[in-house]
């Protein structure tokens, strides 16, 4: 039996007489199994599966196929990739097999009290230095390889906070809030918005306990980042305005963070003028950033930081030509080693090219992004490619559209 016939025969045995019926049925099954309303399998994806080159589904999709049809993808004619291990054989398995790498909440919810111990103040500097290394590693590796490491260090900091006293305790609270924020970001980049929201909440709790106004503002911006990814522009604006309520007490860096995130909220509700106003105001503050805080230093570390935000906002507003010009400028300053960031930016540049009716350029950019998305496993990058796929629908039946579908197949299966 040939590769495409295996899946077709199983589909027919399940009573799914057409590809369209199968796609609808598997979507409904997956949404219930994973408790994830965004899980979808399109008829186009299923048609590809029954073709000569079915590719390989995402792990969650493989789980849904097995649950619905009783067979794993390698038994359905899919081409097994190197290193594939069935989820039933993973040593660490979360609910419905969704989280094989680490439990989301456990590091933040350790029951106390803990055994008393002396806590040396030098540990604050140690954790701060480690934090900068984690930020750099995130640029190179993506989220999955770091979540366990950073979560474990947060858990240790939490233990030490319970034993420390005075200024040492306050210093550990501050650094703990920064670690919680990074864990939240890693979950967000991995596409786990539940995990991201949980850790953003932990960040805000620790920031409030520290009584540090800069960290409290930072934690509100972190919450706004989650709302940006959820497309809730009004919530983003509310949170950023709250962060800026006592603006005179905030260091310039936190004000810049709140202003640029506020601009993202403005773009979500269609206010282009406010986007430019906020980014321009933030730009005037950049030269005043001189604090030694170990967290929130993207405005120092990221080349063209504010123009990245402006270009992203322009893309949301459908300003393809303007966004494309900015992305060209930004990418000229981003090092090749920052693969995750380059991949995200190029995916957004491709969508801007589609909006500017330059489909060939969009496809060439997508061709460069897909290997980076596969390597880093960044859900944020995959989401940008799904947005590109939608933007290219006017050309879906043209040769350039078919080229894009083939290029994106390995990373957009199940979306």
Burial of 205 (0-12, 13-18, 19+ CB in 10 A): middle
Cα R_g (the chain), whole angstroms: 23
Secondary structure (DSSP) of 211-247: T-HHHHHHHHHHHHHHHHHTT-HHHHHHHHHHHTTTG
pLDDT at 99: 42
pLDDT at 85: 54
Token pair of 168, please? Answer: 């040492």
Secondary structure (DSSP) of 345-369: HHHHHHHHHHHTT-HHHHHHHHHHH
Which residue reads 């040396």 in tokens?
120
> Residue 213 and residue 219: Cα distance in Å, rounded?
10
**Per-residue CA distances from 19 to 14, 53, 62, 322, 415 (Å):** 12, 16, 17, 40, 16
pLDDT at 89: 41
263 CB-near residues (< 8 Å, 6+ apart):
274, 275, 278, 279, 282, 309, 310, 313
Determine the distance from the C-alpha atom of residue 296 to the mean position of all C-alpha atoms in its chain, rounded to a whole number. 17
Determine the distance from the C-alpha atom of residue 21 to the mean position of all C-alpha atoms in its chain, rounded to a whole number. 31
Per-residue model confidence as pLDDT tens digits over 178-188: 999 999 999 88
Determine the distance from the C-alpha atom of residue 115 to the mean position of all C-alpha atoms in its chain, rounded to a whole number. 37
Give the global pTM. 0.72
| Spatial contact of 349 and 324, defined as CB atoms under 8 Å apart | yes
Token pair of 309, please? Answer: 């935000």
CA triple 149-150-153, angle to 5 deg: 90
| Spatial contact of 142 and 376, defined as CB atoms under 8 Å apart | yes
pLDDT at 78: 84
| Spatial contact of 279 and 259, defined as CB atoms under 8 Å apart | yes
Backbone dihedral region for residue 15 (phi beyond 0: left; psi -120 to 50: alpha; all else: beta): left
**Per-residue CA distances from 390 to 3, 137, 404 (Å):** 29, 32, 11
> Residue 23 and residue 45: Cα distance in Å, rounded?
8
> Residue 277 and residue 131: Cα distance in Å, rounded?
32
Per-residue model confidence as pLDDT tens digits over 305-350: 999 999 999 999 999 999 999 999 999 998 887 888 899 999 999 9
Q: For residue 219, give the nearest of 202, 232, 204 by alpha carbon.
A: 204
pLDDT beneath 70, residues of the chain: 1-4, 81-103, 142, 412-415
End-to-end CA distance of the chain: 28
pLDDT at 284: 95
Q: For residue 350, give the nearest of 290, 392, 401, 305 by alpha carbon.
A: 392
Q: For residue 161, give the nearest of 175, 178, 144 by alpha carbon.
A: 175
Task: DSSP letter for 355, please.
Answer: H
| Spatial contact of 302 and 342, defined as CB atoms under 8 Å apart | no
């Amino acid at each position: 039996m040939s590769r495409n016939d295996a899946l077709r025969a199983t589909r027919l045995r399940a009573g799914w007489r057409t590809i369209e019926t199968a796609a609808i049925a598997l979507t409904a099954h997956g949404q219930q199994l994973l408790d994830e309303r965004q899980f979808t399998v399109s008829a186009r994806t299923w048609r590809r599966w029954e073709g000569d080159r079915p590719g390989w589904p995402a792990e969650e999709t493989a789980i849904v196929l097995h649950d619905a049809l009783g067979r794993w993808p390698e038994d359905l004619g899919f081409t097994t990739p190197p290193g594939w291990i069935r989820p039933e054989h993973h040593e660490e398995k979360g609910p419905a097999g969704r989280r094989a790498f680490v439990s989301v909440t456990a590091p933040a919810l350790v029951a106390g009290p803990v055994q008393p111990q002396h806590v040396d103040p030098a540990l604050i500097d140690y954790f701060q230095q480690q934090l900068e290394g984690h930020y750099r590693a995130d640029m190179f590796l993506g989220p999955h390889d770091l979540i366990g490491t950073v979560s474990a260090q947060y858990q240790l900091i939490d233990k030490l906070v319970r034993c420390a006293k005075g200024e040492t305790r306050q210093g550990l609270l501050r650094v703990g809030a920064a670690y919680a924020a990074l864990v939240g970001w890693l979950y967000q980049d991995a596409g786990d918005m539940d995990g991201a929201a949980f850790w953003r909440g932990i960040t805000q709790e620790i920031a409030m306990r520290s009584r540090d106004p800069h960290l409290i503002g930072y934690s509100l911006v972190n919450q706004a980042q989650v709302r940006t990814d959820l497309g809730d522009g009004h919530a983003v604006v509310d949170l950023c305005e709250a962060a800026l309520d006592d603006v005179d007490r905030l260091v310039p860096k936190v004000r810049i963070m709140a202003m640029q995130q506020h601009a993202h909220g403005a773009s979500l509700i269609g206010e282009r003028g406010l986007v430019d106003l906020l980014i321009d105001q933030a730009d005037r503050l950049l030269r005043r950033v001189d604090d030694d805080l170990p967290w929130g230093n993207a405005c120092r570390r990221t080349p063209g930081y504010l123009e990245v935000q402006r270009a992203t906002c322009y893309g949301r507003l459908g300003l393809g030509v303007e966004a494309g010009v900015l992305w060209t400028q930004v990418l000229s300053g981003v090092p090749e080693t920052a693969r995750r960031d380059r991949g995200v930016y190029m995916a957004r540049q491709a969508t801007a090219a589609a909006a500017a009716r330059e489909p060939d350029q969009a496809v060439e950019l997508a061709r460069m992004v897909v290997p980076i998305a596969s390597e880093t496993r960044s859900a944020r990058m995959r989401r940008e490619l799904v947005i590109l796929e939608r933007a290219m629908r006017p050309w879906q039946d043209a040769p350039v559209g078919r080229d894009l579908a083939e290029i994106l197949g390995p990373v957009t299966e199940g979306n």
